[in-house]
């Protein structure tokens, strides 16, 4: 019998072991020309295969080396990678930021930085999926959660019956954008220390101080902040979703309510 609690714990241990500060320091300064990737160069299928299907929890450097080797080995992806390089090289911005006149190295590092951002985003989606399956099993509910590269390509991070979910990142006290055909799952990536400071600062109006306080209270209700700074979904959050899982309209109202709470408005 599958142990969903163990699956979630193993995944959370992996997320908590990631050197997020190292990633930020290493990749944030690398400038990159944002060009659309050919589908054959998308990393999403590889990420889902490793971290969801096989539960092969590789750290980024190991995963990327493996992914890059796969791209470089197959003839069809090698051609698409070469074409993509040509598009990137054509930008003046790219030439201005080349490293020691080494265009290949600059391209490699820029592509790697872009993959790191995608990798982190998909890991966040998968945390919702692991947590959902765990809570579903704990409550003895027969619900089938789907998540895959094919769904991701359609903008769907997870699907349960007719309910199509998309994780909506919120970095400030703002209400998450709602897409008509999808149920937004508000995901807060607040600067916690900054929110704490503003909640006590005399330079911030009393009304806004209280909003920051409410945002922080809501954050700790719906999320868990791991020691390395990775934000994961709380069981309370998933219970809230589960209570409304059989009604699309109720899910949308719940999403709106959570968003307002995170914004400190209620």
| String of DSSP letters for 184-244 | EEEEE---HHHHHHHHH-TTS-HHHHHHHHHHHHHHHHHEEE-TTS-EEE-HHHHHHHHHT
Q: Is residue 212 part of a domain?
A: yes
CA atoms within 13 A on the CB side of 172: 3
Nearest CA to 184 out of 156, 154, 208 is that of: 156
According to DSSP, residue 53 is labeled I
- Structural domain total, the chain: 2
Same domain, 113 and 28: yes
Alpha carbons 185 and 187: distance in angstroms, whole number: 6
Q: Is residue 118 part of a domain?
A: yes
Q: Is residue 156 part of a domain?
A: no
Structure token pair of residue 40: 């054959």
* 14 contacts: CB under 8 Å, gap ≥ 6: 57
Structure token pair of residue 54: 């096989």
Nearest CA to 82 out of 52, 117, 41, 114 is that of: 41
For residue 186, the cross-strand partners are 168
Domain termination site, one of 67, 100, 125:
125
**Tens-place pLDDT, residues 115-129:** 999 999 999 999 999
Q: Is residue 152 part of a domain?
A: no
- Alpha carbon 147 to its chain centroid, in Å, reads 13
Q: What pLDDT, on the 0 to 100 scale, is given for residue 97?
A: 54
- Enclosing H/E stretch for 169: strand 163-170
Q: Is residue 138 part of a domain?
A: no
User: Is the C-alpha dihedral spanning 134, 136, 141, 145 positive or negative?
Assistant: negative
Alpha carbons 17 and 226: distance in angstroms, whole number: 9
C-alpha Rg value of the chain to the nearest Å: 20
Go through 175-190 and write b for each residue having 16 or more CB atoms within 10 A of its CB, e for each that does not: bbeeeeebbbbbbbeb
Q: What pLDDT, on the 0 to 100 scale, is given for residue 38?
A: 84
Q: For the chain, which ranges sit under pLDDT 70? A: 1, 33-35, 90-102, 172-180
Q: 44 lies in which domain range?
A: 4-125
Same domain, 28 and 104: yes
Q: What is the average pLDDT score of the chain?
A: 90
Domain termination site, one of 99, 125, 151:
125
Same domain, 11 and 120: yes
Same domain, 121 and 167: no
The CA angle 95-87-102, to the nearest 5 degrees, is: 35
Question: Which residue matches tokens 């193993």?
Answer: 10
Q: What pLDDT, on the 0 to 100 scale, is given for residue 31?
A: 72
Same domain, 234 and 188: yes
Same domain, 16 and 68: yes
Q: Is residue 153 part of a domain?
A: no
Same domain, 166 and 112: no
Same domain, 85 and 189: no
Q: Is residue 146 part of a domain?
A: no
Same domain, 15 and 102: yes
Q: What pLDDT, on the 0 to 100 scale, is given for residue 210?
A: 95
* 80 contacts: CB under 8 Å, gap ≥ 6: 38, 40, 41
Q: What pLDDT, on the 0 to 100 scale, is given for residue 246?
A: 93
Same domain, 106 and 189: no
Q: Is residue 198 part of a domain?
A: yes
Between helix 235-243 and helix 248-262 the angle, nearest 10°, is: 140
**Tens-place pLDDT, residues 73-99:** 999 999 988 888 877 776 655 555 555
Domain termination site, one of 100, 125, 150:
125
Same domain, 204 and 110: no
Same domain, 119 and 11: yes
């Amino acid at each position: 019998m599958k142990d969903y609690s163990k699956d979630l714990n193993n995944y959370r241990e992996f997320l908590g072991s990631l050197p997020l500060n190292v990633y930020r320091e290493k990749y944030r300064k690398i400038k990159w020309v944002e060009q659309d990737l050919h589908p054959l160069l998308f990393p999403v299928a590889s990420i889902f295969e490793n971290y969801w299907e096989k539960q092969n929890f590789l750290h980024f450097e190991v995963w990327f080396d493996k992914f890059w080797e796969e791209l470089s080995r197959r003839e069809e992806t090698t051609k698409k990678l070469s074409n993509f390089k040509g598009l990137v090289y054509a930008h003046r911005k790219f030439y201005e930021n080349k490293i020691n006149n080494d265009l290949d190295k600059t391209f490699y590092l820029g592509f790697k930085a872009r993959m790191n951002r995608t990798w982190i985003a998909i890991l966040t989606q998968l945390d919702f999926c692991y947590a959902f399956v765990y809570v579903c099993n704990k409550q003895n509910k027969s619900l089938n959660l789907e998540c895959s590269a094919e769904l991701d390509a359609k903008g769907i991070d997870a699907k349960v019956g007719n309910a199509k979910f998309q994780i909506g990142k919120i970095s400030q006290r703002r209400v998450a954008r709602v897409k008509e055909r999808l149920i937004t799952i508000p995901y807060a990536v607040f600067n916690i220390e900054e929110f704490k400071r503003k909640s006590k600062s005399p330079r911030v109006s009393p009304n806004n101080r209280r909003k920051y306080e409410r945002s922080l209270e809501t954050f700790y209700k719906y999320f868990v902040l791991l020691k390395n700074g990775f934000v994961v979904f709380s069981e309370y959050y998933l219970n809230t979703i589960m209570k409304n899982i059989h009604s699309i309209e109720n899910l949308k109202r719940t999403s709106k309510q959570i968003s307002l709470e995170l914004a400190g408005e209620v």
